[in-house]
């Protein structure tokens, strides 16, 4: 027997059964045969619970009869909004992929060019009779210059990320 | 379970899986179809939750935008409607939390939501009789006076036909609380039924 129904007094138990399982509902939420016969016997003898059962049925019927419908305008506006948002998300995703591809290309070209550049700086240092720390310093500055410049430009634009993610909901 | 029930359960599971795949792809045709399919049910739930049609319509749109954005989170193992209603509910709760952060217990506090104004929003069909309309108004008035958490549970149970477990999932309340809310809500509405019968 349903343990929730065990501790209440008989009328309360009958009414809880009616409220929860009074309708014919398929599936695991049906009352067991024993509970069903107990409830039937109780309703037979208890006018007050019988009234509760009738009132419950009528209340549920009326609840279902309350007409609330969405208008066509709401549906079409929503569909349009969702499509617009989908396009925004699509564009964001495309931008994300472009950034990913650019990052991959930069990484690859860095891996290829760094040793060549290093040897080039070493050769120029030798030709100009510079000590290794000097041409090595020159290499580091030359190497980092694009990243530093890009950083400064991005900072100058200030709200770069907020501008581009402004429409991003949490 | 008999063969027909088995077939029904499998068909529902297939449909949920199909919805999950479509949402992951952000399939616009699928979203259009879902919006149309769930329009009345979602709006009705939101109206009972917020008590106002204008607010409910705003949340209706927000809910579908959220469905689009979070579509990949739907796994297809649960009913789509349960997931949809949970999203809608969370949006309303977030809104209420922002509105009244100090006293957040909105759905337990009938004052936390706007006065329920269903009579003004109902659109009776040409077939509605005066008696039916009066009965609807009475029961709507009853809904206005019961606590928001009872109102929500009754809508999910008797209008949406959700199982007790589905209601517990949507509302985040324990199963025992859901049962007690249905019982108490139904009992609280009964005095209004007497008015409806006059
Ligand atoms: Zn009794």
- Rounded to two decimals, what is the model's pTM? 0.71
| Alpha-carbon span A104 to A153, nearest angstrom | 21
The shortest C-alpha distance from A119 to chain B (Å) reads 49
pLDDT of residue B126: 54
Range in A3-12, A81-90, A130-139, B117-126 the model is least confident about = B117-126
Can you tell me the mean pLDDT for A39-54? 93
Chain A residues with beta carbon closer than 8 angstroms to that of B27: none
Chain A residues with beta carbon closer than 8 angstroms to that of B47: 68
Determine the length of chain A: 170
B94, B128, B181, B186: best mutation site toward chain A, by most A Cβ within 10 Å?
Answer: B186
pLDDT of residue B140: 84
Q: Chain-wide mean pLDDT for chain B?
A: 83
Pairs across A and B, CB distance < 8 A: 124
| Alpha-carbon span B114 to B119, nearest angstrom | 14
pLDDT of residue B99: 80
| Alpha-carbon span A103 to A97, nearest angstrom | 10
Contact of B40 with A74, CB cutoff 8 Å: no
Token pair, residue A144, equals: 């980092």
| Alpha-carbon span B93 to B90, nearest angstrom | 5
| Alpha-carbon span A101 to A146, nearest angstrom | 18
Contact of B170 with B86, CB cutoff 8 Å: yes
Q: Chain-wide mean pLDDT for chain A?
A: 83
In terms of phi and psi (left: phi > 0; alpha: psi -120 to 50; beta: otherwise), the region of B76 is left
pLDDT of residue B10: 74
Tokens 């019968």 — which residue?
B197
Contact of B82 with B162, CB cutoff 8 Å: yes
A15/B183 touch (CB, cutoff 8 Å), yes or no:
yes
The shortest C-alpha distance from B112 to chain A (Å) reads 22
pLDDT of residue B101: 58
Can you tell me the mean pLDDT for A20-32? 66
pLDDT of residue B57: 95
Q: Going from the N-terminus, what domains does chain B have, and what CATH number goes with each?
A: 3-193 (1.10.10.10)
Give how far the C-alpha of residue A77 lies from the chain's centroid of Cα atoms, to the nearest Å.
22
**Would you place residue B1 in the very low, low, confident or very high pLDDT band (cuts 50, 70, 90)?**
low
Is the torsion defined by CA of A55, A56, A57, A61 positive or negative?
positive
Closest to B187 in 3D by CA, of A41, A43, A47, A51: A51
Pinpoint the alpha helices (H) of chain A: 10-21, 33-45, 47-65, 72-127, 132-157, 160-165
Q: Write the secondary structure of A150-170 as one string of H (helix), E (strand) and C (coil).
A: HHHHHHHHCCHHHHHHCCCCC
């Amino acid at each position: 027997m349903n343990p929730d129904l065990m501790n209440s007094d008989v009328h309360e138990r009958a009414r809880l059964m009616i409220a929860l399982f009074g309708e014919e509902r398929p599936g695991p939420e049906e009352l067991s045969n024993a509970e069903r016969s107990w409830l039937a016997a109780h309703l037979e003898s208890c006018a007050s619970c019988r009234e509760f059962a009738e009132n419950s049925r009528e209340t549920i019927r009326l609840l279902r009869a309350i007409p609330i419908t969405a208008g066509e305008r709401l549906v079409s506006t929503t569909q349009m909004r969702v499509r617009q948002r989908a396009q925004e998300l699509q564009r964001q995703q495309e931008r994300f992929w472009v950034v990913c591809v650019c990052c991959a290309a930069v990484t690859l070209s860095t891996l290829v060019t760094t040793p060549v550049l290093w040897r080039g700086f070493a050769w120029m240092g030798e030709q100009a009779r510079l000590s290794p720390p000097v041409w090595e310093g020159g290499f580091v500055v030359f190497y980092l210059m694009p990243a530093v410049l890009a950083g400064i430009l991005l900072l100058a634009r200030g709200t770069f990320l907020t501008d581009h993610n402004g429409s991003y909901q949490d | 379970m008999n063969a027909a029930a088995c077939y029904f359960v499998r068909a529902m599971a297939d449909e949920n899986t199909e919805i999950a795949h479509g949402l992951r792809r952000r399939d616009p045709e699928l979203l259009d179809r879902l919006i149309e399919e769930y329009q009345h049910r979602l709006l009705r739930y939101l109206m009972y939750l917020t008590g106002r049609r204008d607010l409910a319509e705003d949340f209706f749109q927000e809910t579908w935008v959220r469905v689009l954005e979070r579509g990949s989170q739907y796994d297809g193992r649960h009913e789509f409607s349960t997931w949809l209603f949970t999203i809608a509910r969370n949006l309303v709760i977030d809104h209420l939390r922002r509105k009244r952060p100090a006293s957040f217990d909105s759905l337990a506090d009938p004052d936390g939501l706007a006065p329920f104004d269903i009579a003004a929003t109902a659109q009776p069909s040409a077939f509605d009789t005066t008696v039916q309309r009066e009965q609807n108004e009475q029961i709507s008035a009853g809904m206005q006076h019961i606590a928001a958490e009872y109102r929500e549970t009754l809508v999910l149970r008797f209008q949406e036909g959700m199982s007790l477990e589905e209601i517990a999932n949507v509302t985040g309340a324990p199963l025992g609380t859901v049962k007690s809310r249905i019982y108490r809500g139904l009992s609280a509405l009964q005095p209004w039924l007497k008015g409806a019968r006059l």
